[in-house]
Amino acid sequence: MLFNSYAFIFGFLPIVLLGFLWLAGVSHFLAAGWLTLASLLFYGWWNPAYVGLLLGSIVFNFMIGVAIGRDAGRGQRRRARWLLTAGVAGDLALLGYYKYAGFFLRNLDALAGTQYAGLDIVLPLGISFFTFTQIAYLADAYQGKAREYRFVHYALFVTYFPHLIAGPILHHGEMMPQFALASTYRLRWENISVGLTIFLIGLFKKTVLADGLAEYVEPVFSAHATATRLPMLDAWGGALAYTFQLYFDFSGYSDMAIGLSRLFNVRLPLNFHSPYKAVNIVDFWRRWHMTLSRFLRDYLYIPLGGNRKGKARRYLNLMVTMLLGGLWHGASWTFVAWGGLHGLYLLVNHAWRAMPARRGRARRGPTGLGITFARLLTFLAVVVAWVFFRAETFGSALYVLEGMAGMNGLVLPYRWLEKWGVVGEWLAARGVEFQNLPTFGGGGQINFLVIAWLIAWALPNTQQWLRAYRPALNVPQEVRPLARRWQWRPTVPWTAIGVIAGASAILCISGFTAFIYFQF
C-alpha cells in the first residue's frame, strides 16, 4: 500500500487512526496491538506471502535480543557476544539471500560461464530497513541500551507502518519510551493538525514535484539501450531532472512518515534536512538519509576503527563504509560505483580540510561567495554520482556522462530557432545545431528545474516551517531560525495554504507511482 494512494488516504489511515484512539481508551496494550496488526496489513497489502517472513524475522530477533540482554545483565559477556554474532549473522544471511543472491550468481555466471542466474528471487519490500533496525536493536541490547520483553511492543517497534518500507532506520531507545507514555494514547488536536500539515506537504512533494519531473528522466537514461543520440542539453536535463525527482521523492516520503507518526503522537527521527544546501560532502551526508548515515557510522565505520588508527586507516574505513553503503542501496555494480564515488569525495573533503592553510581559513569563517561556490561544487559532484545511482548499467551511466561532458555536441530545440529570431540565426550560422529533441522538454522542463532548484536551495524545509512544534527527533539547531511570522501556526491563512497544497497533491495522484526508496 502506498502513502500516495486513495486507498491509504481515505481508507486505511482514518480507520487505523480512529481504531487506535478508541482502543486507547480501553487499553494501551490493545491499542498497541491494533497498530501492530494494522502495520502487518499495510505490509501484506503488497504481497501477503512475505508477512510470514517479516514475522519470522521479528520473532528471531526478539528472542535473541532478550537472551542477549539477560546474559549481558548477568555479566556473561562472552555468551552475549556469541548470541549477538549469531543474531547479526542470521539477519545478514536473510538480507543476503533475498537481496544479493541473484547479484552473486549473475557475476558467477559472467566469470565462470555457468547458468545459475535463472534463480528468480523477489525482493521483499523494506527488507533492508527492518533488517538494519533489528541489527541496531541487537547491538543496543548487547550494550545495555535496550531492554524489551514485551513482544507486542517490540513487534510494533519493527513494523510501525510510517517507517516500515523506506525508513527512517529506528533506534529502540528512540521509540519504545514513546510507546510507553500515557500521552501517546490520547487524542491531541495539536498533533493531528501538525501531522496532517506535514503529511500534505510531503504528498505535494511526491505527486506534484517528484512525479512531475519523472517524465523527463526515463528517456535520457534509456537512450543508451535505444541508441538515441544524447547531446549536452538533453543529458544535463535528464540528470538534473532525476536529481530533483529523487530529492522530492525521498523528502516527500520522509515528511509523510513524520506526519503520519505525529497523528499517533509519536515523533520519528529526522531523516532528510535540505541536503542540496550542503557546503561539502561531509555536510551532505549529515543531511541526506540521516539515519542510514548514523547506522553506518555507529555499526560499521566506528567498529572498523573509525579515525582512531591513523590517517591511512581512517581513509580506508571511510571507503569501505561508503562502498558497503552503496551496495546496501542495491545489488548492482552501479550502486557500488556510486558508493565509491562518495567515498572518494569524502577522502578529498577530509584531506582538504586537514591542510594547514585550510585550518587558518576555517577559523576566520567562510564568506558568502565562498559558501555559494562550495554549495554549487558539492551539488555538481552529487549530480554526477546520481547518474550511476539511476542508471541500469555502467554503459548507460557512461553514455549519460559523455553527453553531459559535451562529447555528443550541443543541440538546441528547433522551435528555439524561430523563437529567438536574429539570435537564433546568428547561432545557426556559427554551427550551433537546432533539431527536434526526443529526450528534452524544452522551456517547460527548464522552468520546472528552476522552480525545483529554488525550492531546494532558497526555501526553508518542512522542519524549519514547523520548528515551534518540534515535528521530529534530532532536528539540527539552525544558526538563524526563521522569523516567527514565517513559521507555521494553526491559523486560518496557514490552514488555507495547507488545504490548497493538499488538494493539489491529491488531485495529482495517478496510477502506481511507488517511492524510489521502496526498491531498497
Report whether 374 contacts 280 (CB < 8 A): yes
Distance separating alpha carbons of residues 161 and 259, to the nearest angstrom: 12
Residue 90: what pLDDT? 95
Alpha carbon separation from 481 to 273, 288, 460, 461, 466 (Å, rounded) = 14, 20, 10, 11, 11
- Phi, psi for 471 (deg, rounded to 5): -65, -25
Residue 419: what pLDDT? 85
Distance separating alpha carbons of residues 137 and 75, to the nearest angstrom: 19
| pLDDT surpassing 90 at residue 8 | yes
Q: What percent of the chain clears pLDDT 70, i.e. is strictly above it?
A: 96
Q: What angle do CA 207, 493, 262 make, to 5 degrees?
A: 55
28 is catalytic: no
Give per-residue pLDDT as tens, 223-241: 998 888 899 999 999 999 9
Distance separating alpha carbons of residues 200 and 255, to the nearest angstrom: 8
The C-alpha cell at 389 is 545511482
The C-alpha cell at 471 is 515535528
Which residue has better confidence, 421 or 262? 262
Residue 357: what pLDDT? 56
Q: What percent of the chain clears pLDDT 90, i.e. is strictly above it?
A: 57
Question: Average pLDDT, stretch 159-184?
Answer: 89
pLDDT band at 16 (very low <50, low <70, confident <90, very high): very high
Residue 218: what pLDDT? 93
Residue 116: what pLDDT? 63
Question: Average pLDDT, stretch 296-304?
Answer: 91
Distance separating alpha carbons of residues 314 and 304, to the nearest angstrom: 9
Residue 365: what pLDDT? 56
Which amino acid, one-letter code, is at 335? F
Question: Average pLDDT, stretch 104-109?
Answer: 80
Give per-residue pLDDT as tens, 194-220: 999 999 999 999 999 999 999 999 999
Q: What angle do CA 76, 82, 84 make, to 5 degrees?
A: 100
Give per-residue pLDDT as tens, 115-135: 765 567 778 888 899 999 999
Residue of 171, 224, 289, 329 with catalytic role: 329
Lowest average pLDDT, out of 73-87, 266-280, 348-362, goes to: 348-362
Question: Average pLDDT, stretch 43-69?
Answer: 91
CA 35 to chain centroid, in Å, comes to 24
- Which pTM value belongs to this model? 0.92
Distance separating alpha carbons of residues 240 and 129, to the nearest angstrom: 27
SS3 at position 304? coil
Distance separating alpha carbons of residues 378 and 281, to the nearest angstrom: 6
- Average predicted confidence (pLDDT) for the chain: 89
Distance separating alpha carbons of residues 257 and 270, to the nearest angstrom: 10
129 Cβ contact partners less than 8 Å away, ≥ 6 residues apart = 163, 164, 165, 166, 167, 169, 520
Residue 498: what pLDDT? 85
Alpha helices in 355-421 (DSSP H): 356-364, 368-390, 394-404, 414-420
Give per-residue pLDDT as tens, 319-335: 999 999 999 998 899 99
Lowest average pLDDT, out of 144-148, 313-317, 356-360, goes to: 356-360
Residues forming beta bridges with residue 434, ordered by sequence position? 412
Residue 487: what pLDDT? 87
282 Cβ contact partners less than 8 Å away, ≥ 6 residues apart = 346, 349, 350
| pLDDT surpassing 80 at residue 362 | no
Give per-residue pLDDT as tens, 333-345: 999 999 999 999 9
SS3 at position 332? coil
Question: Average pLDDT, stretch 406-428?
Answer: 86
Residue 257: what pLDDT? 96
Neighbours of 115 (CB within 10 A): 9
Distance separating alpha carbons of residues 255 and 268, to the nearest angstrom: 10
Distance separating alpha carbons of residues 286 and 293, to the nearest angstrom: 7
Which residue has better confidence, 366 or 289? 289
The C-alpha cell at 295 is 547506522
Alpha helices in 74-150 (DSSP H): 77-95, 101-112, 127-142
